[in-house]
Amino acid sequence: MKDHGVDATSQTANIRPDLIRKKRDGGQLSDDEIKAFIQAVKEKTIQDSQTGAMLMAICLNGMVSAEIKALTREMMSSGEVMEWPDEWKDFMVDKHSTGGVGDKVSLVLAPALAACGCKVPMISGRGLAHTGGTLDKLESIPGFKVEQSREQVKRILDSVGCCIVGQTETLVPADRVLYALRDITSTVDSLPLVTGSIISKKGAESLSALVLDVKFGRAAICKDFESATELAQMLVEAGNGLGIRTAAVLSGMNSTIGRCVGNSVEVIESLETLKGNGPDDLMELVTTQGGLLLVMTGLVSDLSEGRKQISEAVVGGAALSKFQAMMEAQGVNSDTAQLLCSTNADYYSVLRKAKHQLELKAPADGIVLEIDGLALAQVLHRLGAGRSKAGEPVNHSVGAVLLVSIGQRVTKGDPWLRLHYEDLALTPDQRNHLESALTVGADKKIQTQQKHTLVEKILPEKYQ
């Protein structure tokens, strides 16, 4: 048998079993061995069973930093790597969130960054399980086209400064294969594989700076701060390894972001935020992530100034103008875009409204101690707001609007949630699940109407 490191890249029939065995037994794969594996995945010269075995070996034994760097680089290089005009290269930025409930940050952040002089080729995803997808939200706007060619993306960036699009077939094709197999081999939560998947796609965008929103809590992939920190450090190191200035924001994800969850209702809340009426927690995430990107591109000297500029772009209306221009550039009728961005817009004259609304009432007097975002998202998912398998349709009109905030004092019988649903009515079990999401009580530690902050930490700490 040949030495593990010899001729690893010349294997074209399929991958050598001894590479899988090496990882299974806890060995470290060389750069050439990782290149051979990804090449075989891309060229479909490896059996799915072998790919699954390698994924499981990585999941069980982990990867050292050098392996993660090589994996990320080879995945990025498996397809097209985008190229930009020289005058843009220092200002190409994007963000990625590990997923949450009511996470509409991208819809506000992309146009705010464009208003501050950045170019934002935001490649986003669709929702799966309880986590909503940015593309699904935007597609609730009639005419919005998330599929754009490379040349169309360049034209939109040139004229507007930002676009939000789906992943093309030619971008990181190896990830598309691995992602599907991770789903059926229970290796989705492997941190090296998560890192390779996220950073390879951002690397293929040829970014100068990237910010990662790594969430922790009940409604997040990472259930605790420690595991979120481990993932954040891995992501930052991998991003920097590709030459992208990378930072991470660790933020809590127990409740919801903002007050709206669902596709159409989140678009409405995003538009209201762009009109200066955004909730504090959403604005905290937008200004922190945007501020970090302005620091990393050199447009501002520190995070405080970066937050200020992003806030001014949102509150002052510059970001709203960019969002309107982006909608029109991505297929939305100009009259429709103008109506949505107008003061006191009649949103439901454009967006689809659910047939039914139901208000849930507070069960007792007291202070709102907790709102379980995961429970809320799970019920909405079953009512049609989300999908269980890739490719399934979603109902854009299904959603929920919170009528109370954590720390707010309520009286028994006060409405706390407005549910938007279609013909699929709530089952008794779903109603119980929703009602259990609200915790009302007396807690002296919680100040009534306290400011609810989400950002726990920023990495690297020099940006804190």
Active site residues: 96, 175, 182, 197, 201
SS3 439: strand
* Buried residues in 263-295 as b, exposed as e (16+ CB within 10 A): bbbbbbbbbbbbbeebbebbbbbbbbbbbbbbb
Is residue 168 within 8 Å of 150, Cβ to Cβ? yes
Is residue 68 within 8 Å of 99, Cβ to Cβ? no
- For residue 153, which amino acid is it? V
Largest CA distance in the chain: 75
Half-sphere exposure of 177 (CA within 13 A, CB side): 24
Terminal CA-CA length for the chain = 52
CA distances from 69 to 54, 242, 249 (A): 17, 8, 21
Q: Classify the C-alpha dihedral 285-286-291-294 as positive or negative.
A: positive
Residue 118 to residue 208: CA distance in whole angstroms: 10
Two tokens at 272?
């209201």
Two tokens at 75?
């995945």
Residue 354 to residue 395: CA distance in whole angstroms: 9
User: What are the backbone angles phi and psi of residue 254, rounded to the nearest 5°?
Assistant: -100, -35
What stretches of 355-447 show up as alpha helix (H) in DSSP? 373-380, 428-435
Two tokens at 386?
């989300």
Rg of the chain over Cα atoms, rounded to whole angstroms, equals 23
Give me the residue label for tokens 């498996």: 78
Task: Give the other-Cβ count within 10 Å of 47's Cβ.
Answer: 12
What is the total residue count of the chain?
A: 464
Two tokens at 293?
């990107």
Neighbour-count burial of 1, counting CB atoms closer than 10 A to its CB (0-12 exposed, 13-18 middle, 19+ buried)? exposed
Is residue 341 within 8 Å of 271, Cβ to Cβ? yes
User: What are the backbone angles phi and psi of residue 443, rounded to the nearest 5°?
Assistant: -135, 110
SS3 127: coil
